[in-house]
Structure 1
Amino acid sequence: MSGSTDSPRTASQAGRRRLIVAIAAGLATLVVAGFALAGWSTDRASAQADLEARQNAGAHASLLESELQKFRLLPRVLTEFPDVRAALADKSDAASRRLDRELEQLAARTDAAVIYVLDAGGTTIAASNWRAPTSFVGENYRFRPYFQGAMRRGEAELFALGTVSGRPGFYLARRVTVDGRRLGVIVLKVEFDKLEARWADSAATTLVTDAAGIVVMSSDPRWRFRSFGPIAAETQRRLRATRSYGAARLESLPVDRSGGDLRIGDDIFRQADERVSLPGSTLRLLQPAGPARASAGATARVVFLILLILVGAAIVTLLRLVERQTMRQAAHEALEREVAARTRDLSTANDELRHASERQAETDRRYRAAREELAQASRLGSIGQITAGVAHEINQPVAAIRTFAENARAYLDREQAGKARGNLDHIVELTARVGAITGELRNFARRAPAPLGPVPLQSAIDGALLLIGDRLRAQGIALDVGIEEPAVAVHADRVRLEQVLINLLQNAAEAVRDTECARVTLVAHGDGPVLIDICDNGPGIPADILPQLFTPFVTGRPDGLGLGLAIASDIMRGFGGTLTLVPSPLGGAGFRLTLRRA
């Protein structure tokens, strides 16, 4: 009887000991898991914030570079502008006032803040803001570094406050030199209010600092003209001498970089830097760490709650097993094995759940990263195509302007004023056309295409031949033009349609450059849609590039960009038409434009 009585008591005590050990182990597991999850959530939040900061920094740097590239070409072109040279050479009021109006129109078309011309002494002789109370005309900017640098090196760039307007901006300066004489400097000021407003749509703070660490651009206006560190006394004296930042106090931001985070006041950020082409400048993107840490903390709490439920369930199960052991000693060992088996199952299930959760989190992270990288690549591809295409698209009008200007000068020397006036009228039309082309490229960059309407086909073809005809004649190319219906009008935009025609005629001229009896035909026909066939007797299209003929950067010429046919195809799709390759009756290459009748 004694052995029979002691056996349940011993089993019950052993069960209680096992229960106590299990509860202690569960509590220890919860404590260790809590610390581990806290560290994991902090690391995960920092990694996520760093990833978002790098992606946003790249996107915002690309927006800034796109704006800079759009404006850097304009001062180079203006240094060759006849009226700029005439005003600097003559220094007459009539020439300067005429140039005032031309610069005013150009600034309005290009969104430049102001364009102005300085003589060799640094005095403004003409400016696009000549009507405004803050006109630059008559002001002297000899002390400005951009004037001094342009006169010495030919060009200079500077971010500074305007001494008259008091508004910050980026100054692009190019020297005007004629026959070795340095006549003066053409200056274009760009303001970035719209770009900073676009940056402000992001939750992050985006800013650009100069070589001295001073914030020159910021999505938060409160940070502008404050520094990321103390400014040396010599730097402060130089900035005051050049009045680069006016009367700004250039106070230091309360920056604390301890612990891997960037703290400014009460705000915590993760920082990503990108180099930009502003002289000595860096784009800094400050991604708030709070949202990412809150999200990671919430995830950690959910995981901890699941673990708590599992441990609680295990403890409850053990309690029930102990109760059953005291009631049924005979089934003690079987129940003990069952408890061990269930415990192992719960542990395995917990491990599998944790691994599945980690794999799912990693999969989600990779998917978001791949999606953001793809979107970024698409945006950069569009901006790169527009930037690379600017010079390609306006090259012919600029060359034609120069040819007409040279001819006009010859006519004036012969005292043939009527012919010279005609050439000047052509120059005015071509200048307007260049403005329309650059406006179109700007609209394309803003996703705002120009409206379409009826375009007389004869007029569009005449305009294209006006730009490309001299080149064809200079190469000795026989050009045959045939239009079945001269009065027909098509649904398009004249400037972009001329772009397509010029591009195809230029490609044909390149193809027949080394061909004897070179010949190109342009034939417009069709009873329904209007078909325009441009064919040549050159060597044709290489077979290896046919499948990708209209893909950007694919070209058969060693010196070609591979953008012309891609841009032309995009323009035709915008018209509701097509650009296709057709057999050439001359034996070379043939392209067909299909357009709707207006």
Structure 2
Amino acid sequence: MKANHEAYRWNSVRTSAQHHPIWLYAIAFIVIVLSIWKGGEALKYQQIKTLRIDSFEQLNQLANVLESAIAKYQHMPTLLASNDRVKTALREGTEAGIQQLNRELEQINRITEASDSYILNTDGLTIAASNYREKTSFVGRNFAFRPYFQDAIEGRPGRYYALGTMSNRRGYYFSYPVYDRDTIIGIAVVKVDLTQFEKRFANQSYEFLLLDPDGIVFSSSKPNWLYRVLGELSYDELQRIADSQRYLGKYIEKLAIVYQTPFDEKTQIVDVLENTANSGTAKLERVSFLRMSRPIHLLGFQISILAPLKTINEDISLWRTIFTGGAMITALLFGLAALRQRMLRERSDANEMTRHNQAYIREVIQNTQAGLVTLDEHHKIESFNPAVEKLVGKPLAPLVGQPLHRLFQADEAVLPTPSIQQELVDATLDLGIKVQTKEGHLCYSDQMSVPVEMAMCEMQLPKRLSYLVTFHDMTERKRYEQDITQARIELEERVRERTFELEEANTRLRHEIEEHKGTQRELIQTAKLAVLGQLTAGLNHELNQPLTAIRAFAGNGLKFLDRGQYEQAHANLQHISQLGHHMGDIIARFKVFARKGDVQQGPIAVQTAIVGALKIMNPRFKEVGIELVVKEDQGFIVKGDMVFLEQVLVNLLANAADAILEASDKSGQVSIEQGLVDDNIIISVEDSGNGLSEEAIKHLFEPFFTSKSSGLGLGLGLSISQRIVEAMGGRIYAENASSGGAKFCVCLPRFDHQALSSNAPHKEI
């Protein structure tokens, strides 16, 4: 027994010693692979950093060459404008003088290598050009629509960039007014063709882009990148570019940048999809570049260099492959060394283990709690322990010398006739493993079938081969699996029921939300109509005055017609027409104010909204004799809805008038002021009433709360105004002014042209 115990302990120590180095080797291999990967990243970063330094020098060189090459042309229009022959041709316009000027412009172009030079009169018509001999001559063409003409005709030097309408070539234009004493008599224009610079830098180790202020590629070493945009352009910006005829209907597309990440504060790594032709077949290829940019202040452009990273990526891949291969070869050598050491150790231990195997197996079979069966080298049952008989419930002596399938049947076995132990042995030999497990049943007893898990392993005994088969009772585990399956089915049923209930509750909630939105719209319309009702008397007064004047002018006009005084009658009819337009404007303002709708976000002028609200409230203020003070227009633009902002201002002005009337202040005053605080526009309405109590300030914006006398107001105006202002992204608040009255402030975000989207969503209130 002691010998068997020592043999078991020795076998366990040896097994542990065999498996422990495998994990160490695996961990060491993973660490090496990670180190290679991180080293490749570090090497790649260093190479890109070196490339960035070289590319930055190339960028500065390219920018300096481009800027210096174009700078020499910017003073040419000034020199042409001071030329006496140009002035004489513009003043006299003789054919001989113009022909002489054409030849002189042609000679100047040959010397300066400019693209085109031409002279425009004050109507924008070309009278002389350096290309007068060519079919695409500018002579007789009108370029008054070009911005460089419009700048020069106003006395300023002009600059512009565009695709030529005649030559269809990209160029940069310089213009300067031609003066005769203090009078502008024409424009001198010089066009610089950028194609020469593209050819000069076309065969470099990098690609370059020249971007206009809208981010559109105006010049590039790659022709298929022309007229592509790197960022996003709104519909309004695209429409503006099309209206300027800058690119003559060229389709502006976005450059196919599929990936972009910053490398440092001045450079980015970008991946661009490009069409490559391979054996006549177009194919999309992803190309990586290191991009860096700098401005061209003379042109107002931005120039970018895109240095390809293909060589660096290939070098890093090759470096990783070489080092990974070396690590794998080293790992294989260590594995072979460990395998040889193991073989030597097993050979030295074989003789010692041979003496203990027989006794050890017998003791294990007799004393283990699991069912054990040994098989001989022919895979027949050789022996078994009492635990197997306990599982089956009957003696197993008749099975000695019988195949294993007489005792055990696997669950996946279709026919009982094949030898199950032969299948297991074949699988063990094919897969090169020492233990094979299967689930099945002990089926020797006719009364019961016991679910078990079978494990068979090979045993090396002196001078013969044997197998050990272990059976573990799985009755309890099968019962647990059935319980878990039933619990899962019940849980899925409860989940389905709860999901159905949640869907019904969600449907009811959406319906209630829609009803709540409709109620909000009706409350806003009710508040508008309530304000219009309060202004009815003032509206009648505003309309009665022009109506009285119309009746007087009409009566006088009839008398003038009877007397034949048609001029006086015509003058009276003009007065009647003007009064009718005035009445129409008053009524139209009230119609717009009373319409329904959602908040339409867009740029609106604050002063325009204030003037619209005053047109509605002026009759009321005139009627009660309140003085209205409007501070100077600051030219502020906010993002919101014009009609809804007018509604908020009308509500605040009406509340200010009510507060003054309740204070019985016959010399009341309401002032409106605009201000800027932290990029937010503040519109304040201040009255000379009695001010607000602390209790009123706490509850002012609650629905149906009012501080007015009983029966005046619904208590919805300020609550609705707060919802409107918040829907426009702002806030409204109230405080007591230093003069003693109340002061209501509407705070709205200042309009940002760059943040505006062409399809801005509408917000509901």
Q: TM-score of the superposition, structure 1-length normalised?
A: 0.48
Please identify which structure carries the higher strand content.
Answer: 2
Bigger Rg over Cα: 2
Considering Cα pairs closer than 8 Å and 6+ residues apart, tell me whether 1 or 2 has the greater RCO. Answer: 1
Q: TM-score of the superposition, structure 2-length normalised?
A: 0.38
